[in-house]
Amino acid sequence: MDKLLTINNLNVDFTLRSTTLRAVNNVSLSVNKSERLGIVGESGAGKSVLGFSIINLISKPGRIASGTVMLQGEEISSYTYEQMRQIRGNRISMIFQDPMMTLNPVLTIGEQMRETINAHASMSAADVDAICLEKLRKVYIPSPEKRLDQYPHEFSGGMRQRIIIAISLLTNPSLIIADEPTTALDVTIQAEIMDLLLELCETEHMGLILITHDLAVVSQVTQRIAVMYAGSIVEQGATEQLITNPQHPYTKGLLGALPQRASRDGRLNQIPGVMPGLAKIPEGCSFRNRCSLAADICLTQPVLEEKTSGSQVACHMVK
């Protein structure tokens, strides 16, 4: 299979006054051409930082400390600012969490679409408009000609997310990074948006990195899942396998906490404790303080390796 994106041993640090916090810890993963990968984890696990670090757009004072990001064989993590700018929104597009906040309130939809094309290509205004309309139709925006001159406040949340998806399609990217694209929407709209994303990825042959805490969503859309905990990937494998046969105690805990999987009269499973803050990650296995299987060996850091189930798991206790 062709590798679309490969991340090797990526570390992202946030340097504060006195300390350096590691938000992404030695993460390696890859996405094949037109493959859909889910990154799952609790809030603060480092999923979003990982997503933004791919296009080197981490909020200050975060920075990539080491590791490489390869896009279709090119090492984009060593690119200059201008080279990276030409990747952003062009070969890799992003979709953000809250569509109410993502569009600029004082610019029309048309302006916000056209500028994306103009930032990456030079073509006539008529051609630009034709592409904008084509993409708006793709996301099922009715009468797109009228919509171009409207402002974001004239759209509902679901419509805005469609427009944002249309913006992300403008340059025919090979990869879309969707950072919790449905979290801010209500449940019925969530399903519509996820269906749309899935459909577009298939018809346009795009790769997708879906960052979410919603296991139900991720299991329906993606082909592979990486589970993140406290900045590291603890388990990675094919979606089907990971959902039906989770190996890492944390993944088991996450799945056990899903209401639709629990029996009617049983109590919902909870993972005891909370995820540690970045400053308080224990040495060795970062999950050991919450883990029922923890033993002395867990004081040394486990490596992510393939286990008998077929998934890659970072746990000493899994065979």
Partner 1 sequence: MFAFTVRRVAQAILVMLIISFIGFSIKHNFGDPVRELVGERVTPQERAEIREKLGLNDPFLVQYGRFLQSAVHGDLGRSFFFKKPVTEVILAKAPATLELVFCASLIVIGLSIPMGIYSAIHPKRFFSRLIMGFSIVGVSVPVFLTAILLIYIFSVELGWLPSFGRGETVRLFGFWDSGLLTRDGLLHLIMPSIALSSIMLPLFIRLIRSEMMEVLETEYVKFAWAKGLKPRRVWYVHAFKNTLLPVITVGGVQLGIMVAFTILTETVFQWQGMGAMFIESVSRADTALMVSYIVVVGFIFVVVNTMVDLIYGIVNPTVRIAGRK
How, if at all, do strands 224-229 and 232-238 pair? antiparallel
- Does residue 15 bind partner 1 (CB under 8 A)? no
Query: What is the distance between the alpha carbons of residues 316 and 23, in angstroms, rounded to a whole number?
Result: 23
How near is the Cβ of 182 to partner 1 at its closest, in Å? 16
How near is the Cβ of 296 to partner 1 at its closest, in Å? 44
- Does residue 33 bind partner 1 (CB under 8 A)? no
For partner 1, the closer of residues 22 and 160 by Cβ is: 160
Cα dihedral sign, 92-95-96-99: positive
Tell me which residues in 34-93 interact with partner 1 (CB under 8 A): 55, 57, 59, 85-90, 93
DSSP 8-class letter at 88: B
| Binds partner 1 by CB under 8 A, chosen from 115, 129, 204, 214 | 115
Contact 190, 64 (CB under 8 A): no
Tell me which residues in 211-240 interact with partner 1 (CB under 8 A): none
- Does residue 101 bind partner 1 (CB under 8 A)? yes
For partner 1, the closer of residues 72 and 301 by Cβ is: 72
Tell me which residues in 166-185 interact with partner 1 (CB under 8 A): 167
Phi and psi dihedrals of 71, rounded to 5?
A: -115, 115
Residues, the chain: 319
Backbone φ/ψ region at 26: left (φ over 0), alpha (ψ -120 to 50), beta: left
Burial of residue 163, with CB atoms counted within 10 A of its CB: 0-12 exposed, 13-18 middle, 19 or more buried: buried
- Does residue 129 bind partner 1 (CB under 8 A)? no
Query: What is the distance between the alpha carbons of residues 294 and 178, in angstroms, rounded to a whole number?
Result: 34
Question: Which residue, 185, 158, 172, 151, is CA-closest to 34?
Answer: 172
| Binds partner 1 by CB under 8 A, chosen from 12, 37, 45, 103 | 103
- Does residue 106 bind partner 1 (CB under 8 A)? yes
For partner 1, the closer of residues 90 and 236 by Cβ is: 90
How near is the Cβ of 86 to partner 1 at its closest, in Å? 6
Tell me which residues in 260-279 interact with partner 1 (CB under 8 A): none
**Residue ranges binding partner 1 (CB under 8 A):** 55, 57, 59, 85-90, 93-94, 96, 98, 101-108, 115-116, 119-120, 151, 153-154, 164, 167
